[in-house]
Copies of this chain bind each other. A is one copy, B any other.
Amino acid sequence: MARVIVDVMLKPEILDPQGQAIAGALPRLGFSGVRDVRQGKRFEVEIEGEADEAALSEVRKMAETLLANTVIEDFTVRVER
């Protein structure tokens, strides 16, 4: 069994209102020195068997099909040791 992590973030050119709301709130909570905040999704996908190249390419297909909206989002797939 292996755990594969899929991180999904809005493409850089896409406005991130949630991230901006957080970046705007932090100074009001007394935090300084934050230039930008972007919010995305993190998926932990537990798969049977080893996380070999074939399994990773399956997870990439899952990300393209279901986990990310590839028109406005980018994703990365990696194995978590």
Contact = CB atoms under 8 A, between A and B. Distances in A.
Interface of A: 1, 7-9, 19, 22, 25-26, 29, 31, 33-49, 55, 58, 61-62, 65-67
Given A26-B66, A31-B58, A40-B41, 18 more contacts: A1-B35, A7-B42, A22-B66, A25-B66, A29-B62, A29-B66, A31-B65, A33-B49, A33-B55, A34-B48, A35-B46, A36-B46, A37-B45, A39-B43, A40-B44, A41-B41, A41-B42, A42-B42
Nearest to A22: B66
A33 B7 contact: no
A72 to B, nearest CB: 16
